[in-house]
Amino acid sequence: MKIIRTIAVLALASLLQSPLAGAGTVVIKIGSIAPSRSPWDKALHEVARDWEKISNGTVQVKIYPGGIAGGEADMIRKMRLGILQGGVLTNMGLTKVERSVLALNIPFLFDSQEEFEAVFEKMKPEFEAKIEEQGFKVILWTLAGWINFFAKEPVIYPDDLKKHKVSVTANDPELEQVWKRMGFQVVPVDMSGLMVQLQSGMVTASYLPALVAGSGQYFAIIPHMLSLTLSPLVGGLVFSDRAWQSIPQEYRQPMLEAVTKASRGLYEETMILEKDALETMKEHGLIIHDPPPDAMEKWRERAAESVDNLVRTAFSKEIYDQILRHIQEFRKDRGK
């Protein structure tokens, strides 16, 4: 037992050690919820190889994929403590660092990928500055996909969803209130407990990326998917500012360029996997519903009713107004 305790203490000490490990060596530990061998995981390993080459071995990168380092909230906490130096986060994790990012999750805000990318490109400096104020640095942004409704019965119009018990992200009361004000029954659920809730009937609908619905086998219980996309899924590689500053100055710009290179085609590769996943799910019972033309307008109207309650409480009116202004400019330029 003494030997076991000694090993445990040494293991914990190793995990808690400073990013500076050994004479002049910087160890960067990156947590990721992306599965091993996924496009994100492959990109991270490419970054690890490039960073070690750029720094002549001064910077060593260790990657912990598939949630080994915990969920997004866990990774943020560990970055603050110095246990991790970086983490791959989605919108929901980023909102726990800086609440203004929640504005990107307003349901049915964006009409298309092109519209989102144009608006987000203009908003990135604002988000990055606010995230830096919280002690973090965004190393990479990317669009990682889109989120859709999945339910046990068809959901075409907002009133159809009223019949369901919808899972919402746990520990996010503002987002929970959005769905409630839209008139829906919601059940806060941690992702790790979603399958149990679905199997028990406590939850009968959820909003998920298609890849997650497939890889987690959730679609087998909630086999009806609404083709309208709910919101973009943004991925970000985020470091604690302390960890980023620990990297010698002369390596930082080449390392950022290496990240950009590794991320090229990341969204396209993810979309290919999503298309394959949808085809496989359809072969195993998934039914995708294309709504009539008036459905989108009804969804937008329902979402708009709840937005005013988020402005000033979850994020600033200034941020929301900036996003709306960029959307309007984009649509005006295209004659919409």
Taking residue 55's Cβ as centre, other Cβ atoms within 10 Å add up to 19
Rounded CA-CA distance 336/329 in Å is 10
Question: What beta strand segments (E) does the chain contain?
Answer: 26-32, 59-64, 86-90, 136-151, 165-169, 185-189, 205-209, 224-226, 231-240, 287-289
Rounded CA-CA distance 42/229 in Å is 26
- Six token digits for residue 54: 């750029």
Give mean pLDDT, residues 180-188.
87
* Helix, strand or coil, per DSSP, at residue 310: helix
Side chain identity at 165, as an amino acid letter? K
Give mean pLDDT, residues 159-183.
84
Query: Crossing angle, helix 39-54 and helix 266-283, to 10 degrees?
Result: 160
Rounded CA-CA distance 58/279 in Å is 45
Side chain identity at 75, as an amino acid letter? M
Give mean pLDDT, residues 315-333.
92
Spans of all domains in the chain? 19-333
Rounded CA-CA distance 19/118 in Å is 36
pLDDT of residue 138: 96
Residue 27 pLDDT class (50, 70, 90 cuts)? very high
Most distant CA pair in the chain: distance in Å?
73
Q: What are phi and psi of 234, to 5 degrees?
A: -95, 135
**pTM confidence score:** 0.83
Residue 269: Cβ-neighbour burial (10 angstroms; 0-12, 13-18, 19+) = middle
Quote the percentage of the chain above a pLDDT of 90: 60
Each residue of 243-294: pLDDT tens digit? Answer: 999 999 999 999 999 999 998 888 888 889 999 999 999 999 999 999 998 9
Residues in the chain: 336
Side chain identity at 201, as an amino acid letter? G
Give the class (CATH, top level) of 19-333.
alpha beta
